[in-house]
Amino acid sequence: MRTSPIPVLTATLAIAIGIAGCGRDEETPPPQPTETPTLPSPAVPESVPPPGGTAAPGGTIPTPPPMDATAGPVAGSDRSFVAEAMTSGVVEAEAGKMAAEKAGDPQVKAYGDQLQKDHSATNMKLAQLASTKGITAAETIEGDARTQLDDLAKLSGAEFDHAFIERFGVSAHEKTIALFEREAKEGQDPDIRAFAEQTLVTLRSHLQAAQQLGQGAK
């Protein structure tokens, strides 16, 4: 009995199609192109201010140095006090030096020496204080004060002692004390006011010594 070729052919084709299909299933499909992820732009760091600086776009603005509280504006009355106090102190120091060298009375000589030392020290403190306040305090002697000192320099002995006590004794120190007391009470600058108050102790001791000399001269 002969077998029909048609079924055999059909079966062969089916097997071939099946094998081909299996081959396609095992193949790895090519990777599909994907979109490239967009990365965020790096953040621009803000300016880091250095010590004493302030961050700002495009750079750093330096912070101005702190202002010295003692170098602020000084009232006119305080400036006037500094000028008068310096002039008075310089005159007293020079007169005291002259008395320490020329006086005939040992007590007058000692008084003059004390004036020179105390007023020289006070003048130095006042000059330093004036400098911190931006005040120019003249340390020269002019006008009537210069004339008084020049006239005093021409005298000697008892005549010198009498003139020195009269011009640089009680009345002169009372006037200076009044100047310093006014500044100590009414001064607007705390540092200048404190200087006036502290110096009053020395000025009052000078007044007391001058009063004693005046009593002894009578």
State pLDDT tens for residues 46-60: 444 444 444 444 444
Longest Cα separation, the chain: 181
Q: Per-residue pLDDT tens for 88-142?
A: 999 999 999 999 999 999 999 999 999 999 999 999 999 999 999 999 887 888 8
Domains of the chain by residue range: 73-217
- CATH code, 73-217: 1.20.1260.10
Nearest alpha carbon to residue 173 among 124, 213, 128: 213
Residues 77, 188: contact at Cβ < 8 Å?
Answer: yes
State how far Cα 21 lies from the chain centre.
Answer: 95
Question: What does the alpha-carbon distance between residue 80 and residue 9 come to, in Å, rounded to a whole number?
Answer: 133
What's the pTM?
0.65
Render 110-121 in DSSP notation, one character per residue.
HHHHHHHHHHHH
Nearest alpha carbon to residue 206 among 172, 159, 155, 160: 172
